[in-house]
Structure 1
Amino acid sequence: MTAETPVLDNHLHLDPDNHRGIDAVRDFARVGGTHLLVVNKPSWHLGVDADAGEDFRPVFERTIDIVAEASSELPGRAWPVLGVHPGLISRLVDERGFSPADARDLMCAGLDVAAEYVDAGDALALKSGRPHYDVTDAVWEASNAVMRHAFELAAGLECAVQLHAEASEDMTEVTGWAEEVGLPAHRVVKHYAAGRLEGPVPSVMCDKERLEVATERGEPFLMETDYIDDPDRPGAVLGPKTVPRRVDWLLEDGHDDAVRNAHVETPERVYGISTEETLESGRNGR
Structure 2
Amino acid sequence: MSEPDLDTPVLDDHLHLDPRHGQGIDAVNEFVRLGGTHLLVVNKPSWHLGVEPDEPEDFQAVFEETIDAVDDATDVLPGRAWPVLGVHPGLISRLVDERGFSPEEARELMAGGIEVASEYVADGRALALKSGRPHYDVTDAVWEASNAVTRTAFERAAEVGCAVQLHTEATEDLTDLAETAEAVGLDPGRVVKHYAAGRLEGVVPSVMSDRDRLERAVESGEPFLMETDFVDDPEKPGMVLGPKTVPRRVRWLLEEGYDEAVRRAHVETPAAVYGIDTEATLADPETR
Q: Same fold (TM over 0.5)?
A: yes
TM-score, L = length of structure 2: 0.98
Correspondence 1:210 to 2:213: yes
Q: Distance in 2 between matches of 1:46 and 1:283?
A: 33
Q: Secondary structure at the match of 2:59?
A: helix
* Structure 1 segment 53-68 matched on structure 2, within 5 A: 53-68=56-71
Report the Cα distance in structure 1 between the residues aligned to 2:285 and 2:144, rounded to whole angstroms.
44
Q: Distance in 2 between matches of 1:234 and 1:60?
A: 24
Contact (CA 8 Å) 1:2, 1:244: kept in 2 or not?
no
1:38 aligns with 2:69: no
- Please show how residues 54-203 of structure 1 align to structure 2 within 5 Å: 54-203=57-206
CA distance in structure 2 between the aligned counterparts of 1:147 and 1:71, rounded to whole angstroms = 29
Distance (Å, rounded) in 1 between the aligned partners of 2:5 and 2:61: 35
Total equivalences in the alignment: 285
Counterparts of residues 6-17 of structure 1 (less than 5 Å): 6-17=9-20
| Alpha-carbon separation, structure 1, partners of 2:144 and 2:19 | 34
- What is the distance in 2 between the residues matched to 1:135 and 1:87? 10
Indicate whether 1:252 and 2:255 are aligned: yes
Q: Which amino acid aligns with 1:63?
A: T
TM-score (norm 1): 0.99
Q: CA deviation at 1:158?
A: 1.0
- Secondary structure of the corresponding residue to residue 71 of structure 2: helix
Q: CA–CA distance in 1 between the matches of 2:74 and 2:182?
A: 33
Kept in 1, the 8 Å contact 2:194–2:205? The answer is yes
Alignment of 1:17-28 (within 5 A): 17-28=20-31
Which residue type is aligned with residue 260 of structure 1?
R
Q: CA deviation at 1:282?
A: 2.1
**Match of 1:201, as an amino acid?**
V
Tell me the amino acid that sits aligned with residue 259 of structure 1.
Answer: V
Look up the equivalent residue of 2:122 and give its one-letter code.
Answer: D
Q: Is the 8 A contact 2:6 2:251 kept in 1?
A: no
RMSD between aligned residues: 0.7
Matched residues in 2 for 1:2 and 1:249: separation?
13
Indicate conservation of the 8 Å contact 1:2/1:33, yes or no.
no
Shift of 1:3: 3.1
Structure 2: unaligned runs, 5 residues or longer? none
Unaligned runs of 5+ in 1: none
Structure 1 stretches of at least 4 aligned residues deviating more than 4 Å after TM superposition: none
How far apart are the structure 2 equivalents of 1:92 and 1:29? 38
The offset of 1:231, in angstroms, is 1.2
Partner of 2:278: 275
Contact 1:68 1:78 in 2 (8 A): yes
SS at 1:81 equivalent: strand
In structure 2, how many angstroms separate the alpha carbons of the residues matched to 1:2 and 1:205? 23
